[in-house]
Amino acid sequence: MFIDQVSIYVKAGDGGNGIAAFRREKYVPKGGPAGGDGGHGGDVIFEVDEGLNTLIDFRYNRHFKGDRGENGMSKGKHGKDANPLVVPVPPGTSVYDEDTDELIADLTTHGERATIAQGGIGGRGNIRFASSRNPAPNLAENGEPGEEKNIRVELKVIADVGLVGFPSVGKSTLLSVVTAARPKIADYHFTTLSPNLGVVDTEDGRSFVMADLPGLIEGAHEGVGLGHQFLRHVERTRLIVHVIDMASIEGRDPYDDYVKIKEELVAYDEKLSEKKQMIVANKMDMPDAEENLAVFTKKLKDATTPIYPVSSITKEGLTVLLYSIADELEKIPKTVAVEAEVVIQHKAIEKSFVITRDDDGAFILSGEKIEKMFKMTDFSSDEGTQRFARRLRHLGVDDALRKRGAKDGDIVRLLDFEFEFID
């Protein structure tokens, strides 16, 4: 089964907790701090495996979670960092943040890697908080939460040549004749529901990958028919080959078919018009094909687009076509164009906190930075609780609550934590 788009959830590992521990040493308060830091959580990494050609594995496993870092230990020992979770994906995989539709990674070559979600850093042990004023702090941090996100994974088939055209024009038959591929072939529309790939070997020792892509219909760029499921695969091809039913078996005008296909390609992505294109006049063994080809040639205003009359049944003209495709591919760079240069990094945090009101009148604190502070605080320690309160004041939370009308005894909520405001 060919799967080319899935939505999944990824969660990198949380950092390990730092600990509060002490040495036993004479004349040193409590023996001195000896709590080590926690280890970093495991990243979630996608790696290209050229042996894969579908996203079917994601159909049965839609949750990927990295391991948590090891907690810190006494004697100042650092907790072990968690190993990354490496997920194999096929070449041509694009990863998008489903909430923002932002491109996270575009993976095309074997062994290429991208960090999709970064693991949290380990919490600091009490050694880190020692000072001249407090030489033996009973204070440690919890590990930072790992990144979590809903992502959309898309596969765009990487092929040298993409066969495009209306349904039932003979794309699958052509592919089956010139390669060892055995696509499903029948005399009804949309026999091909997913791309089929085959390797073409010419008699002079050259080879290239050809893809039979699902048939287009008018409005495909808007998602009509197979829509974007088809068009996304055209982006990766180096050469677009239009397959036209020159015998007009279904009563359509061959030139109108060609014009509509070009319009759909440009409407989906204007950059597709810059790709080199060829025209294959197929089914030339059928009646009226020669007359239709003559009319088509007169109507075609673009003299730079070559036309190759062929018959997939009698194999007439196929050798010339394959040599011409191989010659053209030698002129086109093999680099695969990507949508954008991808730089994986922590996203900037714009606001430290936001204050809203609940239905019962309680004040609600939210925001990525303040929520991360809360999760990394060890509330089992009085020093940890006091430090959290000081950090809230430093961020200006107290002043902001007063401006919103908070008074003594009012309830303030932060995630699942609830406390009273004291002016």
Residues of the binding site for Mg(2+): 172, 192
Q: How far apart are CA 27 and CA 286, in angstroms?
A: 102
Write the single-letter amino acid at 49: D
In sequence order, what are the residues at sequence separation of 6 or more whose Cβ sits closer than 8 angstroms to the Cβ of residue 156?
A: 4, 92, 93, 94, 232, 233, 235, 236
CA angle 122, 128, 129 (to 5 degrees): 120
What is the Cα–Cα distance from 177 to 395, expressed in whole angstroms? 70
Query: Of 353, 375, 349, whose CA–CA distance to 123 is shortest?
Result: 375
Six-digit token string for 225: 């028919």
* Beta strands 363-366; 354-357: pairing state: antiparallel
- Distance between CA atoms of 396 and 404, rounded to whole angstroms? 12
Evaluate whether 252 touches 291 at the Cβ level (below 8 Å). Answer: no
Cα–Cα distance list, 216 to 191, 230, 308 (Å)? 12, 8, 21
Q: Are 240 and 265 in contact (CB under 8 A)?
A: yes
Q: Output phi, psi for 212, to 5 deg.
A: -90, 110
Query: Which residues are documented as binding site?
Result: 165-172, 190-194, 212-215, 282-285, 311-313
What token pair was written down for 149? 């996100």
Q: Which 3 state secondary structure label does DSSP give 241?
A: strand
Beta-carbon contacts of residue 71 (< 8 Å; ≥ 6 apart): 16, 17, 18, 19, 38, 39, 79, 143
Give whole-number Cα distances, 266 to 149, 156, 300, 380, in Å: 33, 18, 18, 61
Whose tokens are 């068009």? That residue is 231
Any idea what DSSP says for residue 231?
Answer: H
> What ranges make up the beta strands (E) of 257-333?
276-282, 307-309
Return binding residues for GTP.
165-172, 190-194, 212-215, 282-285, 311-313
- Specify whether the CB–CB gap between 22 and 76 falls below 8 A: no
Question: Which candidate, 403, 417, 422, places its Cα nearest to that of 366?
Answer: 417
